[in-house]
Amino acid sequence: MTHYRRGSFLAIMILSLGLAPLLGGCLFEPRSAEPPTGGSITYYDQSQPQNVLANLEIAFQNRDAAGYERQIAADFSYEPDGDTQASYPDVDWSTWNRETEIAFIQSFFNNVDGIAANLKVTVVSEGGDGTTAEYREIYAVTVTESGGFVPYGANVTFDFVLDGTYWVLSRWFDEQGGEDPVSHAPLPTLGQRRGAFAASGGGRASG
């Protein structure tokens, strides 16, 4: 488990999200996209894997399902951590594909009040060969709902592929849940949200 030296989980989220634009502004080429709500959201060109990862964060923070969808490969797959599999033994995770992921994201974004996301709190390793890339990160996501905050965290592997001239996310693998930096209590992965969605009968994207 990764231990943080000081500060609360929320403070880490605020700090990391606040610094992200300053650190990333000179690295990416932004483009604009129109979310379903009609406001303007700026996304980065999908010319490199790190831009796709940044775009996923932007989609989470703006709860923009259409923006998220554009980052996902046609052959996308999701693999849960062991705790999530144990919590949802009846979910057939081998069938979790792009359509299922999009349906989940639509439901997730529409049913929470806010999301703070940092998908690379800690970089474990990042590498690629020009057409594929594997990024191992530690992420932190805090969901605002029902008047409170629900934290999630995980060691995760993101796999990317070059689809024509654009990079897209082909695999999300939640290796194991994270740990609250203050209480050291275990944190669930976002697989728990996916499992609850699947167990409730979700699985098909709308529209």
If phi > 0 it is left, if psi is from -120 to 50 it is alpha, else beta; for residue 165 that is alpha
Q: Where are the domains of the chain?
A: 9-199
Q: Does the domain formed by 9-199 have CATH 3.10.450.50?
A: yes
CA-CA distance, 164 to 74, in Å (whole number)? 12
Helix (H) or strand (E) holding 192: helix 191-199
pLDDT at position 182:
86
pLDDT tens for 106-146 read 999 999 999 999 999 999 999 999 999 999 999 999 999 99
Q: With contact defined as beta carbons under 8 Å apart, do 136 and 42 qualify?
A: no
- pTM of this structure: 0.80
pLDDT band at 203 (very low <50, low <70, confident <90, very high): low
| pLDDT higher than threshold 90 for residue 103 | yes
Which positions ≥6 away from 162 have C-beta within 8 Å? 130, 131, 132
Among candidate residues 115, 142, 109, the one with its CA nearest the CA of residue 37: 109
Average pLDDT taken over every residue of the chain: 85
pLDDT at position 205:
57
Return the higher-pLDDT residue of 123 and 30: 123
